[in-house]
A = this chain, B = another copy of it.
Amino acid sequence: MLFAVRMDVDLPRDLDPEVRADTIAREKEYSQRLQRKGKWPHIWRIAGQYSNLSIFDVEDNGELHDVLWGLPLFEYMTVTITPLAAHPSDIALLAGR
């Protein structure tokens, strides 16, 4: 089940530089682990913003919540969620996906 998720990051200016670097590194690792497991099939930078647009592929709302809540940058983010479904014009449906 797919969700589009926009994440807008706002790191406080007075964050300790080591904490900052460590949090960003853990965020990257966390994201790539979920990408490899197929839970996070797409991540794009939104041009000109400290933001990303991502697609998540999860079992249900509960798993979506756990994945997002576990993000190392979660407390510095504004998160916007859009639940997705198959679109009748999608050619992938023709191929009997």
Contacts and interface: CB of A to CB of B under 8 A. Distances in A.
Interface residues of A, number: 43
Contacts of A94: 32
Contact of A44 (B53, B75, B87): B87
Contacts of A65: 45, 47-48, 85
Contact of A4 (B1, B2, B28, B53): B53
Contact of A83 (B61, B87, B88): B61
Contacts of A31: 89
Interface of A: 1-5, 12-13, 27-28, 31-32, 35-36, 43-49, 52-53, 60-62, 64-65, 68-69, 75, 79, 81-91, 94
